[in-house]
Amino acid sequence: MQQQGTWERLAPLTGLVFVVITVLVFAIGGSTPGNHDTAQEVQSFYGQHHDKHMALAFVLAIAIPFLLFFVSTLRYELRRAGGTGQLANAAFAGGVLAAAGLGILAFIHLALSDAAGSANTIGTTQTLNVLDSNDWLGWAGVVIGVLTFTPAGFFAFLASALWIALVSILLTQARRSAAPAPAA
């Protein structure tokens, strides 16, 4: 049996890193204009918070590879657990879609922040703002995934962060307990 390297043992923690970065970005970013705010209000907000939201967009983009590494690890573990691989593939596809969505979100905030200084972008700003409107563990993941497409999507997003953090920790613990003792 081949001994796991450090990366393989710690790979599940990429989900936890993703959650921490994402939670910090949203906590620091605070409340942004809603889709019912006027274009002038949106432009004013992003003009006043230009630097902060530019930086947060880049930090959110940095979180995306951590999510991709996590869903790759999750896919590996699900396939290793047996079955047809459909669940593993569905989880991986969902993670890739979530990463793409976060990439779009980061791009929209970058565009909103960058365009706030231009008087010609009020209509575009409002358009982008509307676009930005925002065993049990396995089943919980499936339920959370389905709920993201319902009116409870915001709460499902929050639940998915907790789910990713929990699975990251559990997978890391499982790998630590399965790691062979070092040679004496």
- For CA atoms 144, 149, 154, 157, the dihedral sign is positive
Beta carbons within 10 angstroms of residue 101's beta carbon: 13
Can you give the pLDDT at residue 1?
46
Greater model confidence, 165 or 146: 165
| Gyration radius from the chain CA atoms | 19
Q: Which residues contact 166 (CB under 8 A, 6 or more apart)?
A: 137
Residue 130: band (very low, low, confident or very high) from pLDDT cuts 50, 70, 90: very low
Q: pLDDT tens for residues 81-94?
A: 887 788 888 888 88
Can you give the pLDDT at residue 166?
80
The listed range with the strongest mean pLDDT (64-78, 92-106, 162-176) is 64-78
Beta carbons within 10 angstroms of residue 155's beta carbon: 13
Cα–Cα distance measured from residue 133 to residue 32, given in angstroms and rounded to the nearest whole number: 10
Cα–Cα distance measured from residue 89 to residue 28, given in angstroms and rounded to the nearest whole number: 34
Residue 133: band (very low, low, confident or very high) from pLDDT cuts 50, 70, 90: very low
Asked whether residue 179 carries a pLDDT value surpassing 80, the answer given is no
Is residue 92 within a helix (H) or strand (E), and if so which, with residue range? helix 86-115
Q: Which residues contact 181 (CB under 8 A, 6 or more apart)?
A: none
Residue 80's nearest CA partner among 43, 104, 166, 72 is 72
Residues in the chain: 184
Residue recorded with tokens 């459909």: 86
Residue 123: band (very low, low, confident or very high) from pLDDT cuts 50, 70, 90: low
Cβ-contact 145, 92 below 8 angstroms? no
Cβ-contact 102, 71 below 8 angstroms? no
Residue 181: band (very low, low, confident or very high) from pLDDT cuts 50, 70, 90: low
pTM for this predicted structure: 0.65
Residue 73: band (very low, low, confident or very high) from pLDDT cuts 50, 70, 90: very high
Asked whether residue 135 carries a pLDDT value surpassing 70, the answer given is no
Q: pLDDT tens for residues 7-48?
A: 888 899 999 999 999 999 999 988 888 767 777 787 788 888
Cα–Cα distance measured from residue 126 to residue 116, given in angstroms and rounded to the nearest whole number: 11
Greater model confidence, 119 or 105: 105
